[in-house]
């Protein structure tokens, strides 16, 4: 009887050990799955426009920029021009959009556009939003900026990132093309989309909408 009892006890302890190992395995798998889910959620895009995804936050130098709004520019109502996302520094409200504050605009294109057309569109839009005296003062910087443009293809992205004390960086698909100095230049440039006479009033409203 003693031997039988010992054997039973040994088998019971073995089964208990296997059960505990199985529970640990299940728990580890569950926690790993939860961790993976959390990582996926944290890396997931915050917004999507016509299949174009934009992240919730962007780190630019020492400034953490949060997504303010996203929108779609249409030509003649029907044709999709590009999707855009606008970012502002933490604690910066949309009423300060053209002040000396960190900001970023991302534009994702649906069509091929040559650099010369982008440069001319920039000149025309600045002329609508800036008085002649300011335009004359900024002209050399405008042309330096326009010289940075490269042709774009569908799915390419341009970004404009302004940091006080540094200037406005133009980048194509994440690769910096150059930086133009001056808060005045940056305010004039961003006014193309966000000023009193924007390229498209509906797009402006979408970009400044508080998410």
Quote the CA–CA distance of 86 and 92 in Å, as a whole number. 13
Question: Going residue by residue through the chain (211 aa), what tens digit of pLDDT does each one get?
Answer: 444 444 444 454 545 455 444 444 333 333 333 333 333 333 445 789 889 999 999 999 999 999 999 999 987 545 788 999 999 998 899 999 999 999 999 999 999 999 999 999 999 999 999 999 999 999 999 999 999 999 999 999 999 999 999 999 999 999 999 999 999 999 999 999 999 999 999 999 999 997 6
**Is it true that domain 47-208 has CATH number 3.50.70.10?**
yes
Number of C-beta neighbours around residue 157 at 10 A: 19
The pTM of the full predicted model, rounded to 2 decimals, is 0.77
**Predicted pLDDT of residue 45:** 52
Q: Which residues pair with 69 in a beta bridge?
A: 86
Question: Which stretch of DSSP H or E encloses residue 207?
Answer: helix 201-208
Question: Which stretch of DSSP H or E encloses residue 98?
Answer: none
Q: Which residues pair with 60 in a beta bridge?
A: 63
Q: Is the CA virtual torsion 65, 68, 74, 79 positive or negative? A: positive
DSSP label of 77: T
């Amino acid at each position: 009887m003693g031997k039988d009892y010992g054997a039973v006890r040994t088998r019971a302890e073995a089964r208990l050990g296997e059960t505990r190992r199985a529970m640990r395995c299940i728990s580890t798998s569950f926690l790993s799955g939860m961790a993976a889910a959390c990582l996926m959620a944290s890396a997931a895009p915050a917004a999507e426009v016509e299949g174009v995804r934009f992240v919730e936050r962007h780190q630019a130098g020492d400034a953490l920029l949060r997504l303010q709004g996203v929108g779609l520019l249409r030509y003649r109502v029907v044709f999709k021009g590009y999707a855009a996302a606008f970012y502002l520094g933490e604690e910066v409200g949309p009423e300060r959009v053209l002040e000396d504050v960190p900001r970023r605009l991302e534009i994702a294109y649906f069509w091929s556009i040559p650099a010369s057309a982008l440069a001319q569109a920039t000149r025309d839009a600045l002329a609508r939003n800036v008085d002649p005296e300011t335009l004359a003062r900024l002209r050399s910087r405008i042309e330096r900026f326009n010289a940075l443009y490269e042709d774009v293809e569908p799915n390419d992205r341009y970004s404009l990132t302004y940091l006080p004390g540094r200037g406005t960086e133009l980048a194509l698909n994440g690769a910096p093309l150059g930086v133009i100095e001056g808060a005045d230049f940056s305010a004039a440039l961003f006014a193309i989309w966000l000023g009193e006479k924007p390229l498209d009033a509906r797009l402006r409203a979408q970009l400044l909408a508080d998410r």
